[in-house]
Amino acid sequence: MSKPVSICVIGSGYVGLVASVCFAEIGHQVICVDNDEAKVETLRLGGVPIFERHLPELLARHHNRGVEFTTDLAGAVERSEAVFIAVGTPQGDTGAADLSYVEAVVSEIARAIKSYKVIVEKSTVPVYTNEWIRRVLERHGVGPASFDVVSNPEFLREGSAIMDFLHPDRIVVGANSERSADVLRSIYEPLTAGSYYVQPEALAGPCNALNPARLLVTSAQSAEIIKHASNAFLALKISFINAVARVAESVDADIEDIAAGMGLDSRIGPKFLRAGLGYGGSCFPKDVAAFHWVAQQEGVNFDLLHEVKKINETQKALFVDKVRSTLWTLRGKRIAALGLSFKGETDDIRDSPAIAVIRDMLEAGASVTAYDPAAMDRARYLLPLSSKMHYATNAYEAARGADAVLILTDWKEFAELDLDRLSDEVRFPIVIDGRNLYKPKTMLEYGFTYVSVGRPASYHEQERSALTA
């Protein structure tokens, strides 16, 4: 690396915290800023506020050395060459991203600028946000020669965010000046030149010194669209395979075989072709809605995105119908719910399909005992303990005395259950799998009635006899 860059990251959520420790990991000096004093104090003491693989070890490695935490935004900006904005951009009522947090931060940055700074959008924002940031800075009296605004979208998946940062498919830099582009090139040079990958403690992954990370420089507007378009396309793949799964079910085909056959086509690929409960989390629902709103504002008919969202919302309701049709009625039934987070390897429950399904179970009069390896503390705020809502310490405790077991999150742990033990715990051997973690033949061999997504249901002999009686 030519020389370390002093970096300020504003926001210590998933994106900001991961970016902070990863910038430190590749050799830069980082100040992470947040206005939540309690959270900053936790980070100063070495605490890890989110569940993310590799994050604890990198925080420990660089704590108070490569990265420090503060609430002093002005001081951090003054000490830094590049300022990354990684604050929340929640979805508003119209579907548009709420940029009020970004604007508030930019206003604070403006008061702290005393020398040239590169202001970097790391939050997911709509096209032309770079221009609005520029206008806000100039309205606060910052001269145009004192800053540049760059778009550097993140492509991080919760559960593998550290690896996605250090071993990226691509690094996108949207810069409208060569000076600011060079600053970003310097920041990412340890990844793009490959020097990081030869370090003894480097996290091993698909990139290496001979196959380093790729950096693409575009205009700021193009970079902003790349982020929204990428997430919208991945959401489209998920909704598409879920729509195909409905067709497969109606003709007794197997969506797993169909997805495998499609994924072998190099033009399509196998990723995001997993039928199930649909997408959730903090990115896809928000980004699909925001991109649709952007298109509407520009007079572009992009109703395909509306259909993507509609299919995704319907998928949860269809799963609840599967549960109801399997159990006949839900009132008074005891349900084991395996999974609360929107996907495995994270404790994030934002827009989680699992939470939506459990709420429907409770509203229908069922009692639910839930288990998740990481997300139960967060879930208790949305699904508080009650006479109907309970939490277990493991999957088998959740299944004890259950009329049916629902698999709602694709944790590896749930794909490796001891099926004999599970069968001993349940009242009735019924598994309704919203993530297709098992083979129907396997579940039938263990005596389960097994209902999944996009595949014919399998009934054990007692259930089959009841159905044909």
> In whole angstroms, what separates CA 358 from the centre of its chain?
20
Q: What distance in Å separates the CA atoms of residue 452 and residue 438, rounded to the nearest whole number?
A: 9
Structure tokens at 125: 């924002």
DSSP letters spanning 193-243 = SS-GGGSTTPPPSS--SSSPPPEEEE-HHHHHHHHHHHHHHHHHHHHHHHH
Sign, Cα dihedral of 168, 169, 174, 178: positive
CB 175 within 8 A of CB 71: no
Whole-angstrom distance, CA of residue 86 vs CA of residue 113? 18
Q: How many CB atoms lie within 10 A of CB 161?
A: 25
User: What is the β-pairing status of strands 404-407 and 430-433?
Assistant: parallel
Enzyme catalytic residues: 283
Residues across the chain: 469
Q: What local confidence, expressed as pLDDT, does residue 469 receive?
A: 47
Residue appearing with tokens 């139960």: 376
The pLDDT value recorded for residue 250 is 95
- d(Cα 242, Cα 454) in Å, to the nearest integer? 8
Instruction: Name the architecture of domain 313-468.
Output: 3-Layer(aba) Sandwich (3.40)
Strand order in the sheet with 82-85: 67-70, 29-33, 6-10, 82-85, 117-121, 147-151, 171-175, 215-218
Sign of CA dihedral 129, 134, 135, 137: positive
Q: What is the DSSP code (8-state) at residue 91? A: B
Instruction: Tell me the fold of 228-310.
Output: N-(1-d-carboxylethyl)-l-norvaline Dehydrogenase; domain 2 (1.10.1040)
Distances 459 to 338, 430, 449 between C-alpha atoms, Å: 21, 9, 4
Confirm whether 6-218 and 313-468 share one CATH topology.
yes
pLDDT at 463: 59
Round to whole Å and give the CA distance between 404 and 449: 9
Q: Over the stretch 279-288, which tens digit does the pLDDT of each residue have? A: 999 889 999 9
- 43 vs 39, 60, 83, 212, CA distance in Å? 6, 10, 20, 31
SS3 content of the chain, % helix, strand, coil (to 5): 45, 15, 40
Residue 350 token pair: 């934002």
Can you tell me the distance from the alpha carbon of 288 to that of 230, in angstroms, rounded to the nearest whole number?
10
DSSP 143-190: -GGGEEEEE----PPTTSHHHHHHS-S-EEEEESSHHHHHHHHHHHHH
In contact, 342 and 280? CB cutoff 8 Å: yes
Q: Could you please report the per-residue DSSP string of 63-87? A: BTTTEEEES-HHHHHHT-SEEEE--
Would you say 102 and 123 are in contact if contact means Cβ atoms under 8 Å apart? yes
Regarding the domain delimited by 6-218, which CATH topology (the fold level of the hierarchy) does it fall under?
Rossmann fold (3.40.50)
Q: Report the C-alpha gap between 369 and 397 in whole angstroms.
A: 9
> What is the residue extent of each domain of the chain?
6-218, 228-310, 313-468
255, HSE (Cβ side, Cα atoms, 13 Å)? 27
Residues of the chain with pLDDT under 50: 467-469
DSSP string, 104-119: HHHHHHHHH--S-EEE
Cβ count near 164 (within 10 Å)? 18
